[in-house]
Structures are given as C-alpha cells and as structure tokens.
C-alpha cells in the first residue's frame, strides 16, 4: 500500500506579494519619479475613486515580473528601455482621519511618531528652526508645514511615462483632491549612473526579506532580515500584531525628507585637504564619514 505524500503546510508568515505595494519592497526600477502630495477635498468622491478599476497600485508581485522583463530585455540586448508607469499611494495621519479612519497604527504608544506627525517631531529630529509664539518652527518649505493628507508615488523609465500616469491619476480623482506640491526627481547620469544621489552604489544597503515568494536570490553582503522590520504585521515587527489594526497588515511607513546632500562639495573637500595625493587615505576618510566606499562596499567587503 503506497503512502500519500504529506502536504506542505503554508508558512503563516509568508508575505502576500499581491498585497504589498511595490516601492515598499523590493522598490521600483525607475529613471524618473514624481511625488504628488495632496489633500482630500471630498471624502465620498475620493473613496469612490479608490474603487475605480483603472486605479491599481503597483504591487511587489508586479515589480518582480517587471524586473524579470528588464533582465530578459538586457539579455536580448533589446534597444531602448522597458516602458513602465508605476504607482503607489501613502497616507498621513491627517489623511486617515479625513477618510474616517481613527484607529492608531500603534495602540500601545500614544507618542507614536506617525500619530504625532513629522512636523511635531521636527525639533527632536534636529531640524534647524527657531522658537516662536507657537513653539518650535522648523525651517521647512512652507508646503510641508501645511496640511498634507497623502502622496502618490509615480515612477517610470521616462518623464513621459511618469507624466502620463500622473495625468491618469488626476483624471480619476478629479476635484476630490487638491494638489499641495509635486516634487520630481531623476536618477543620475553619466559616470554616476547606478549610484545613489549621495554618491554610493545603489542598492548595497537594500536588505532582502525572508519569506517573500518569488523574490530573486539575495545579493551578497547584507543578511536577509525578517519581513516585519519593513512590512507591518509580520515576524520582526517591533509593534505587536495585536496593537495594530488588521487593515494595517502588510503596509509600511514612508518618511519623506528633503535634505541637502552636497555630494560635489564633499568630493571637493577631499581635494582641498589634499588627500587625493594618497588615494587610500581619501577612501578611508570617505568610508569613516559614511560607513561605505563610493563603490558601495560596507566595511566587511572592502578589505
């Protein structure tokens, strides 16, 4: 009598890649990206727009498929870039309130930074500013001091793809939202292609997550980490799953910071102090300041 093979039980901590937004993990492949900050003007119209079948945030599963398409195109030496128009959405505490969602994302901590908002924490973050009649007033762009309910993250292989996607979003949501600020960015070109805007090789500090079906093999260097460090409600989440509302599972946090990185100025500094006469010393100074070399290697891989 033959014995039936035992069925493999599902891993309860596996990440549902169709339920996680793709820029949370593994991140959008992109040449251009826009951040469209908005306020909700009409709750009913906005909720209806969210249900529009043409409004579909790009998921982790979508990004895995797209990255494979890019890899295949490179192997074929295809001409041009793979066309793409990717989109994610994030809400502030004000935005959740505007939608009638009052539940805290961390019910064990009344001082949770997300619940307070970044503006209220600007002094604790060390942002420059001054004490005024209303308390600490950070030297922020005025738009970020005003109410912001959410942001659309729109990315693509070209400005045209990004603009086209933004136009579709604006058509879907119409007057249910008001635009606060549109912020555009692009990857670096020429010799700096593939490097983060601070100058380091892109992706070296991007950890791979455990229990993500369909994920490519991890890159050498950073160890795999528990998914809950980035994705809410999974193993490694510093907040107990019972302290988060069920709808927050497989979401994450987005912190938007506009900082002056001064990359050319830093390189000029190395020249000015004449470390360029001794390249290894220059590299060590750069490493000591930022914990990695321009090529991206962390210390264990740089010797």
C-alpha angle with apex 63: 185 to 51, nearest 5 degrees?
85
Distance CA 33, CA 86 (A): 9
Burial class (CB in 10 A: 0-12, 13-18, 19+), 99: middle
CA distances from 119 to 40, 129, 139, 141 (A): 19, 11, 11, 11
Q: Select from 16, 67, 35 the least CA-distant residue to 231.
A: 16
Token duo for residue 134: 């209303």
Token duo for residue 122: 């600007």
Q: Is 109 a catalytic residue?
A: no
Q: Which of 202, 235, 237, 291 is catalytic?
A: 202
- Residue 172, classed as helix, strand or coil, is helix
Catalytic center residues? 202
């Amino acid at each position: 009598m033959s014995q039936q093979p035992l069925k493999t039980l599902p891993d309860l901590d596996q990440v549902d890649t169709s339920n996680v937004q793709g820029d949370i993990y593994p991140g959008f492949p992109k040449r251009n990206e826009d951040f469209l900050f908005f306020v909700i003007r009409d709750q009913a119209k906005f909720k209806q727009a969210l249900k529009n079948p043409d409004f579909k945030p790009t998921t982790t599963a979508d990004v895995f498929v797209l990255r494979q398409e890019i890899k295949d195109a490179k192997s074929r030496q295809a001409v041009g870039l793979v066309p793409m128009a990717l989109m994610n959405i994030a809400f502030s505490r004000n935005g959740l309130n505007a939608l009638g969602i009052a539940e805290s994302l961390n019910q064990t901590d009344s001082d949770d930074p997300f619940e307070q908002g970044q503006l209220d924490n600007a002094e604790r973050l060390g942002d420059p500013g001054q004490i005024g009649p209303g308390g600490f007033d950070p030297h922020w762009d005025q738009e970020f001091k005003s109410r912001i309910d959410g942001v659309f993250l729109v990315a693509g292989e070209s400005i045209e793809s990004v603009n086209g996607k933004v136009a579709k979003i604006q058509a879907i949501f119409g007057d249910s939202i008001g635009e606060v600020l549109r912020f555009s960015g692009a990857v670096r070109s020429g010799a700096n292609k593939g490097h983060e805007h601070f100058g380091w090789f892109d992706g070296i500090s991007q950890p791979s997550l455990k229990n993500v079906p369909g994920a490519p093999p991890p890159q050498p260097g950073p160890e795999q980490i528990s998914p809950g460090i980035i994705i809410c409600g999974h193993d490694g989440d510093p907040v107990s799953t019972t302290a988060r509302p069920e709808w927050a599972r497989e979401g994450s946090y987005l912190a938007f910071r506009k900082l002056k990185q001064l990359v050319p100025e830093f390189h000029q500094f190395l020249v000015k102090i004449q470390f360029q006469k001794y390249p290894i010393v220059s590299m060590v100074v750069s490493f000591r300041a930022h914990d990695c070399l321009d090529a991206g290697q962390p210390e264990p891989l740089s010797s």
